[in-house]
Amino acid sequence: MWDNVAYVRLSDMNYCMAQIKKEFVKIANEISVENGLEIIFSDSDIMLSPPKIKEHGDLSTNFAMMNSKKFGMPPVKLAAEIVKRLGSHTDIFSAVTTAGPGFINFTLSDSQIYQGLGRILDAQTAWGRGTTKPGRINLEYVSANPTGPMHVGHGRGAAVGDSIARIMRFAGYDVTCEYYLNDAGKQVENLAESIKARYLELVKSEVGNVQTIEFPEDGYHGAYVIDMAKSFRDIHGNKPALEGIDMETLKSFAVAEALKGIKKTLADLDITFEVFYSEKALHESGALKKAQDILAQRGHIYEQDGAVFFRSSNFGDEKDRVLVKSDGAATYFAADIAYHLDKFNRGYTHLIDLWGADHHGYIPRMKASIEAFGHERDDLEVLLVQFVSLVKGDEKLAMGKRSGNFVTLDDLIAETGADVTRWYFVAKSHDVAIDFDLSEALSQDPRENPARYAQYGHARACSILKKGSSLFGDNLPVVNETVFTHLSCPEEIEISKVLMQFPQVVSDAAESRSPHKIANFLTEISRMFNSYYTRYKDDPVLPKPTQQVENWEETWDLHKTAARLAWIECFKTVTGNALNLLGLNAPEYMVSPEEAGNE
């Protein structure tokens, strides 16, 4: 549809900002010299950002206020002087004014908007993509113990982690997603013991006269354990004394079974990991010993009371931590140290861990170990994912795997759908505890559901494009940069400017590891589009059936329609890309309740 040849210059918000800064710096330095100042300004001294209120233009700087003292003149006067020299307009901006206490506001020229739209059509799914960044990032998240179904809290970590990965990759980072599989610890043992108990009960009910064991105190009471026991029996048959089956076999089975369920749930959320890293394999590889040796060489280890301590207090931790207990067993921390060291050894330059907020006390010792190995503290970045409370009316639904009484992530997905589930997890900052309101997410009326709203904008755009294509086919004028001059509504220009900001939104979301910024962006732009759509009901993009009277094709403004369709294509591209970054489907069509009701 788009004629690529029409482009010479690439224009987006970054380009406009760079051009304005260049000119701005020149003038600021001019004035500086004339006033006998020795200050030389550079691009980084100019803060340009989109103002909150559209009356203040498209880009705004507080430069005059920040530097009025240096120039020895009031902000307003300095701003006026700069504006005078900037000239009333260039091909980048169509207006520049002073306002308030000394702001300088720029309004972008329409030609920049048209070029920006062209840029979006060119880039399509690549619109918003950042340039390749150096380094390799290892992103570890979920890492739920393989002891049963994932709960809602894991779900939040999974959705946030996956979205961060998508966003960071899109922003140009090399990201590997990794799941640390705790298949070596006591929890797995507890699960195996639990399965054993259930299995023997099962065998007894079938064969009778079988010696059962007491259900382990720290066992898992969930019904899923009984299912696992049944599967185990299906494989091994009824063996009253478990002859020929050792605990290792049972444990491997337990882990495999639990992991199967976890992977299924993750797949339902469209989440995949490149690496599942086994803690058991880590132990068997001798990595713990190696890591400990390195620490010993560097003098960060000592023995006391029969235990081996890591001198983490030398690196900002509040006290030293045990690596090897007096009974000779390694601590979880010792394994974790070796694990993180191994990540560096595998060539990653920056580690990001997503942990549940209850683990925050663990951060100082982990960073201490990173430092002890000679890496920078900040080479390990820990993001804490706060708790999720499920709320249904006044009822707070409790979670806890061992009690067996919890809402699983599977339940939640089954009730609300994967898209809605993901939306609620990523629409808020990972740093705040959230109440997941089921009454809203489950609402029978989708109008109350913000996740659906975000998708609807995309579906609506697709619908118009499809209809336009069937109505006009190839009869529309060729779309190139000049066609956009036929955009006539202020809303179209407003929305275009927001579409042009998408790359900045992506890079901001990536830098701050904040998927919710993408969600907010989606909500805003969908609202703008729906508002436009309804407002111009009397001046529609496509002729209504009632307008398609005799010879209508001859009077219909084909240029305007071509421009609008291309512009809607831009909207569809941006919302589609944004939805994808959040791991949500970008539907081309959504069945309305009315339609569904008619079927």
Partner RNA sequence: GCGCCUGUAGCUCAGUAGGACAGAGCAGUGGCCUUCUAAGCCAUUGGUCACAGGUUCGAAUCCUGUCAGGCGUGCCA
Site for RNA in 389-428 (CB under 7 A): 427-428
**If binding is defined by CB under 7 A, does position 590 make contact with RNA?**
yes
Q: Give whichever of 550 and 594 is closer to RNA, judged by the CB atom.
A: 594
Confirm or reject binding of residue 448 to RNA (CB under 7 A).
yes
Closest CB 183 distance from RNA, rounded Å: 9
Site string for RNA, 155-194 (x = CB under 7 A): ---------------------------x-xxxx-------
What is the nearest approach in angstroms of RNA to the Cβ of residue 460?
5
Minimum CB distance to RNA smaller for 5 or for 596? 596
Whichever of 123 and 384 has its CB closer to RNA, that residue is 384
Task: Pick the binder of RNA from 34, 305, 550, 554 (CB under 7 A).
Answer: 305
The structure tokens listed for 251 are: 């444990």
Q: Which is nearer to RNA, 123 or 471 (CB)?
A: 471
Q: At what angle do helices 450-472 and 515-535 cross, to 10 degrees?
A: 50
Using CA atoms, how far apart are residues 219 and 403, in angstroms rounded to an integer? 9
- By the rule CB under 7 A, 447 interacts with RNA: yes
User: Is the CB of 276 or the CB of 333 nearer to RNA?
Assistant: 333
Does residue number 108 form part of the binding site for RNA (CB under 7 A)?
no
Instruction: Give the span between the Cα atoms of 449 and 438, in whole angstroms.
Output: 11
Kindly state the smallest distance separating residue 411's Cβ from RNA, in Å. 20
Q: Which of these segments, 28-36, 395-403, 407-415, 429-437, binds RNA (CB under 7 A)?
A: 429-437
Distances, alpha carbon 214 to alpha carbons 210, 217, 229, 248, 452, in Å: 13, 9, 15, 20, 49
Per CB under 7 A, 38 contacts RNA? no
- List the one residue from 21, 513, 516, 572 that touches RNA (CB under 7 A): 516
Token representation of residue 469 = 């294509």
Q: What backbone torsions phi and psi does residue 386 show, to the nearest 5 degrees?
A: -75, 170
100 counts as binding RNA under rule CB under 7 A: yes
Residues across the chain: 599
Q: Which 118-157 residues touch RNA, going by CB under 7 A?
A: 145
Question: Distance between CA atoms of 282 and 214, rounded to whole angstroms?
Answer: 32
Residue 480 phi, psi dihedral angles, 5° rounding: -145, -175
Residue linked to tokens 């421009």: 563
Distance CA 43, CA 17 (A): 10
Buried b (16+ CB within 10 A) or exposed e, 337-367: bbbbbbbbeeebebbbbbbbeeeeebbbbbb
If the CB atoms of residues 205 and 548 are measured against RNA, the closer one turns out to be: 548
Q: Which of residues 529-588 bind RNA (CB under 7 A)?
A: 530-531, 533-537, 540-542, 544-546
Of 356-385, binders to RNA (CB under 7 A) are 357-362, 384
Q: Which of 456, 484, 502, 567 binds RNA (CB under 7 A)?
A: 456
Q: Which of 43, 378, 431, 553 binds RNA (CB under 7 A)?
A: 431
CB of 211 to RNA, least distance (A): 29
Assess 60 for contact with RNA (CB under 7 A).
yes
Residue 231: CB minimum distance to RNA, A? 23
How many CB atoms lie under 10 A from the CB of residue 490? 10
One residue of 87, 101, 299, 316 binding RNA per CB under 7 A: 101
Answer for the pair 348, 404: CB distance below 8 angstroms, yes or no. Answer: no
Q: Quick one: 242 or 442, whose CB is closer to RNA?
A: 442
Q: What is the DSSP letter of 542?
A: S
Residue 434 CB, shortest distance to RNA, in Å, is 3
- Among residues 257 and 492, whose Cβ is nearest to RNA? 492
Q: Tell me how crowded residue 473 is: count the other CB atoms within 10 A of its CB.
A: 8
Range 68-97, binding RNA (CB under 7 A): 75
Q: Are strands 434-437 and 388-392 parallel, antiparallel or unpaired?
A: parallel
| 203-242 residues near RNA, rule: CB under 7 A | none
Across the beta sheet with 321-324, the strand order is 301-304, 307-310, 321-324
Binding-site size, RNA (CB under 7 A): 96
Residue 313 lies near RNA (rule: CB under 7 A): no
CB closer to RNA, 105 vs 176: 105
Q: Is 42 in the site for RNA (CB under 7 A)?
A: no
- What does the CA dihedral 209, 215, 220, 223 come to, rounded to 10 degrees? 40
Smallest distance, RNA to C-beta of residue 221, A: 18
Compose the 476-515 pattern: x for residues touching RNA by CB under 7 A, - for all others.
--------------------------------------x-
Q: Which residues neighbour 322 within 8 Å (Cβ) at sequence distance 6 or greater?
A: 307, 308, 309, 310, 331, 333
Rounded CA separation 172/189 (Å): 42
Q: How far is the CB of 229 from RNA (least distance, A)?
A: 22
> How many Å apart are CA 184 and CA 251, to the nearest integer?
9
> Cβ 461 to RNA, closest distance in Å?
9
Give residue for tokens 């549809």. 1
| Rounded alpha-carbon distances, angstroms, from residue 149 to 61, 206, 225, 262, 439 | 52, 27, 10, 6, 23
Binding status of residue 589 toward RNA by CB under 7 A: yes
How far lies 7's CA from each of 441, 495, 567, in Å?
Answer: 45, 22, 16
Instruction: Name the minimum Å distance from CB 519 to RNA.
Output: 8
User: 321 to 360, contacts with RNA by CB under 7 A?
Assistant: 321-322, 325-327, 329, 331-333, 357-360
Look up residue 289 and give its amino acid: K
The residues in 237-276 that bind RNA, with binding defined as CB under 7 A, are none
CB of 110 to RNA, least distance (A): 20
